[in-house]
Structure 1
Amino acid sequence: MRVRLHLAATAGLLALALPLAGCGLGSDPSSTDSTLVWGLGTAPRSLDPAHAFDGESMLVSNELLEPLVSLDPTGKPVPRLAESWEQPDPRTYVYHLRSGVRFWNGADLTAEDVVYSIERHRDPAVASELAGYLAEVASVEATGPLEVTIRLRSVVPEFAHTVALVSHTVEKAFAVEHGDNLGDSTTLTMGTGPYRVTRFSSQGVSLERNDDYWGTAPAMAELDFEVVPDAETLRLALDSGEIDGTFGVPPDSSRSWDALDGVTVEYVSAPVTTMLTLDVSAEPWDDVHLRRAVAYAIDREALVRTVFNGHARKAASIVDPELWSDLLPDDQVAALYDGLADHSYDPDRARSELAASAHPDGVAFTLQYPAQSPAISKALQVIKANLADVGITLTLKEVTPDKWLGDIYAHQDLGAQMLLLGADYPDPGALPRLLLGKANMSPNGFNLANFSTPETERLLGEERSPDPATRTAALSRIMQIAGEELPYIPLYYGDEALALDDDLEYGVAYSHWVPFFQEWASHVRPVS
């Protein structure tokens, strides 16, 4: 399976933002005819979820296309298009759809629409970025006019959560008619969500309220997404009232955002791991001593302190310890992490490992990163200086977010990469299932280190056991292997933030799970 590539607040597609026209709340913030103007760092790559598996695209698509279930602020699956579901056996899920749900064109939602939308991701010709989530799916069938049954080949403990990502439903007839053009700026899409799309381009997206929506209607009649790739320009736009809110607060600039008058910024801890990925299948990263030299050379504590103003946590593993809450008590989680290999900043040990490697005189390598990403850029400058101090030369190459993401999905010439990955459900197995194993060593796979061992493959199977003790033991050993072999060098877990004009309020608890795994805009409303 795969998890979301986390792009929010880190990237932008355009050199210039759409001119801001001051079209926010205006003089009557209590009016339900108001327009909510939301700032994005980058435009959606597509309105087709098969080709838009990134944070910014999902912010938009969640308002348009609805999945069978969403995740609540705690990460728990809750009803969406499915009003209920059952699991008659560990490998079968039966979803009962709501009646009376209609697409924007007036057509009734049917089970066939849902089946078609899921099956598209399994079609190799579509080359869906979500295909990995469905690797263990045996069949998806309409077992009634409003009933969908999904059968798995093997037990997949996380499937109840991940169905929230793979079932965003488009009308089958519309999708078939428009074929490869589905989701582009001309064809758009056809969904059942609380908003319908009226404009989509590289400069932004405009939505209007769906007055025929089956659920609670949004407070705002229109929702405009404006692309503002520069973080400082985004901050000034919020300060001037030209936009009303954003999830794109860069943690490295938190002090200036916190100082905004008439704006509230709320920070939440997020299970998003930022790491260096090293392709162990090719030189020079096939040398474990070199990988360890890099790990010891990086001062993560200084990076968190100086770059992120405390809005990040030093990472000891690819797995955020907060993801263990449902499996282990806090004291046992702490003991687990205390037992992992410690690669804290130690330049002398870095030099010793380099001397023991096949490259005792050092190496030079290039790493590309997405443009308009000040936090990543600043972090990489710290890393570059750290590595230079021990004899390793890092050259940084800034590229467009499209190229950065496209090269990652292509799974070619991987070398060293800077990767940010957020968990898609509150479980410690989320990232290991993605980052390790042969199943993910292919295009659209996220084992960017091409790391696999017989023991790791066996453990990845064991960690899917329904028995918590078996899962805990397998995951603990997987983390130990990853910590010893270092195919990935974990750097930090970053906070996420919501910045909102004080004339507005967010009607539910805000958490990491809110903007990317549920319909979020309906919760933004004028302060009463």
Structure 2
Amino acid sequence: MLRCFAMKAKPANRPRLSQKLPRRHLAVILRRPADARPAPHQYPVSNLQSLDIVCAEWFINEELRFTRISQTGAGTVTTFSRTLINLGVACAFALAGTGTKSQTIAPLRVGSASVSTLNYARSNAGYWGLGNLILEPLLVLTKDGKMGPWLAESWTQPNPTTYVYKLRKGVRFSSGNELTAADVAFSLNFYREPGSTNAYNFPATLKSITAVDRYTVQVSLSEPDAAWAVAPAGPQLGIFEKAFYEQHESSFGQPETGVVGTGPWQLSSFNPTSGAELTVNPHYWGGSVPIQSISWKFFSSESSEALAFRAGDLDVAFPSDRRSFAATSGVDLKTAPGVTNQAQFTMNTLVAPWDDVHLRRAVAYALDKPALISAYGGYAQPVNTLIPPTMLLQLGSQEEVDAALASIPDYPHDLGKAKEEMAKSAYPGGVDVTLAVYNTPSYVNVSQAIVPQLAAIGIRAELKVVQDAAWVAEATGDDRKAIHAQFWTNGAVSPDPGGANDSIIGSRNATAGNWNVSNWSSAEVDDLIARGRATTDPAKRLQIYQLLLTKFAENVPFVPLFLTDEAVALSSNYSWSSFDSYWNQHGPWALELEIKQ
């Protein structure tokens, strides 16, 4: 067991490590802010015969004292209580036989596709990576799948339709102004305005979001909604400064203006063609931030990003075409089993020929999922239902989930059955169609693989490549009939089984600004969606979702194809032992990185 004593430090200052430590090599471990990680985590330590933990204590009179604790023969070290970080205590691993030179941490170098704006009401493309480091949510998802505090230090549900969030006091934006309930209420209400690309995160049951007092936010629902409990933990609901928005309303989130948040880093520059530069937020509430700057570079293609990684110009990347990126960059990707990102072939049921259910069932039988996974670049597993079985385990045991799924119609790859369904359709002799393709390599590769699979049953497809802005405009536009059938991947907006894919189903989301691109629903389906959210009883919810999944399987507005693994490329300068399927829902992700020295 490890113990540190006499931890009494001045929170505003970072401790300075003593120079009186001969033959010690100090390795830095990055940590997330206090209170957000309820359980200690393990970090591997190799080649150790003896591990010395040196805890630095910074007193008001600037006297630096050390308490040295030794653990012999250790293979792992449990991280110290996060409260030590908030006290300004630095814990370092001291390894015998090395030098004492202090090291300056170089800027973290990250690569990605271009981000056009950090205004999440106009585009939500930036929240997962870049925006995640600047704008923070009220809550986060903990490693054990529960809700944890972040900007809200606590929350209660005084009745089934009311949630009350108490904010941390003293949290400041990078501008130096204090975070208040007015900022939170304004941000959330801004995101849910009609036409916002972020509106899908807010259920129809939401009545109001109000600031009760300086540090209290109240959310009122018209009826109980189980999915709302986890909604505030989404990184896409990052809180921004109200006053900054009001000063820059017309250009908010744009490159010339940016955003102001409470995160560990702030924007220094932002150019949609080249990248962004981030520096540490001097007012960050969560303790010291070891990485003082981040250089974020945008790439026009993932192949050029992979080449930059190979050349040693990047430290972190989140590739979508994993196999190609790994081969080109020469790096072994760190992966985690997929839960949140589902690949689908979706069909617009408002227009011919996709309005024919027999043709849609024929497509479901014709698509060869393993072959499409290969075209995607691997790093994925087949899936047959909109709500993945792993998510349903929140509502029942493995046996109960298996029993619920057993009665749901399935569509294994079977050309014979596909042709039988085509014969029943209005197009027994085949039909010509156009498929939209979002211009990213993995989407293009899978779409090209889909074309011959559809041709085998008489559906002759032509591909239409669409750029980012045009793709979003079509998918969320007023003209719902203009949406093309297409392959896409849909990221879950919530870890809740009912809320995860809520944004792409139901009549409510088959409207402008929303993402039900199949435009299929029914009164019965809408009722099942509402009932699944209105109860918190796990057994009842499992039964409801069994019925809902049956309706989707019978009508096939889209074909679930596979769940993509989460993957990250890391340079030899960093490791990320806590990387998992929800890596961007645990708070600012770069705080999880471990620096190799």
Q: TM-score range by the shorter chain?
A: 0.7 to 0.9
Number of the residue aligned with 2:124:
53
Secondary structure of the 2:381 match is: strand
Number of the residue aligned with 1:470:
540
Contact 2:143 2:586 in 1 (8 A): no
Q: Could you tell me how far apart the structure 1 residues matched to 2:151 and 2:232 are?
A: 12
Match of 1:391 among 458, 483, 492: 458
Number of the residue aligned with 1:71:
141
Secondary structure of the 1:355 match is: helix
Q: Please tell me the residue identity of whatever aligns with 1:421.
A: N
Number of the residue aligned with 1:164:
233
Number of the residue aligned with 1:418:
487
Contact 2:321 2:377 in 1 (8 A): no
Match of 1:318 among 378, 386, 410: 386
1:394-418 Cα offsets, whole Å, 9 max, x none, are 1111121222122112153113122
Contact 2:507 2:519 in 1 (8 A): yes
1:326-349 Cα offsets, whole Å, 9 max, x none, are 112223323333322121111122
Number of the residue aligned with 1:206:
277
The offset of 1:358, in angstroms, is 0.7
Number of the residue aligned with 2:216:
147
Structure 1 residues 390 and 164, CA, compared in 2 at 3 Å: closer, same or farther?
same
Contact 1:253 1:308 in 2 (8 A): no
Number of the residue aligned with 2:5:
none
Quick check: 1:401 aligned with 2:468?
yes
Q: Please tell me the residue identity of whatever aligns with 2:476.
A: Y
Quick check: 1:377 aligned with 2:444?
yes
1:116-141 Cα offsets, whole Å, 9 max, x none, are 111212444xx322223333222222
Number of the residue aligned with 1:334:
402
More helix by share: 1
Contact 2:320 2:442 in 1 (8 A): no
Q: Could you tell me how far apart the structure 2 residues matched to 1:30 and 1:349 are?
A: 68
Secondary structure of the 2:140 match is: strand
The offset of 1:434, in angstroms, is 2.5
Structure 1 residues 338 and 411, CA, compared in 2 at 3 Å: closer, same or farther?
farther
Q: 1:99-110 residue pairs with structure 2 within 5 A?
A: 99-110=169-180
Number of the residue aligned with 1:35:
107
Match of 2:186 among 108, 112, 116: 116
Q: Normalising to structure 2: TM-score of the pair? A: 0.78
Match of 1:356 among 424, 428, 437: 424
Number of the residue aligned with 2:115:
44
Q: Please tell me the residue identity of whatever aligns with 2:460.
A: T
The offset of 1:255, in angstroms, is 5.6
Q: Gapped runs of 5+ residues in structure 2?
A: 1-99
Quick check: 1:458 aligned with 2:511?
no
Number of the residue aligned with 1:12:
none
Number of the residue aligned with 1:22:
none
The offset of 1:352, in angstroms, is 1.6
Q: Please tell me the residue identity of whatever aligns with 1:61.
A: G
Structure 1 residues 455 and 381, CA, compared in 2 at 3 Å: closer, same or farther?
same
Q: Gapped runs of 5+ residues in structure 1?
A: 1-27
Q: Please tell me the residue identity of whatever aligns with 2:441.
A: P
Quick check: 1:251 aligned with 2:251?
no
Q: Could you tell me how far apart the structure 2 residues matched to 1:144 and 1:518 are?
A: 25
Q: 1:287-306 residue pairs with structure 2 within 5 A?
A: 287-304=356-373, 306=374
Secondary structure of the 1:59 match is: coil
Q: Please tell me the residue identity of whatever aligns with 2:190.
A: R
In terms of Rg, which structure is larger?
A: 2
Quick check: 1:231 aligned with 2:302?
yes
Contact 1:341 1:480 in 2 (8 A): yes
Contact 1:318 1:431 in 2 (8 A): no
Structure 1 residues 93 and 31, CA, compared in 2 at 3 Å: closer, same or farther?
farther
State the identity as a percent: 31
Relative CO higher for 1 or 2, CA cutoff 8 Å, sep ≥ 6?
A: 1
Q: Could you tell me how far apart the structure 2 residues matched to 1:411 and 1:342 are?
A: 33
Structure 1 residues 451 and 101, CA, compared in 2 at 3 Å: closer, same or farther?
same
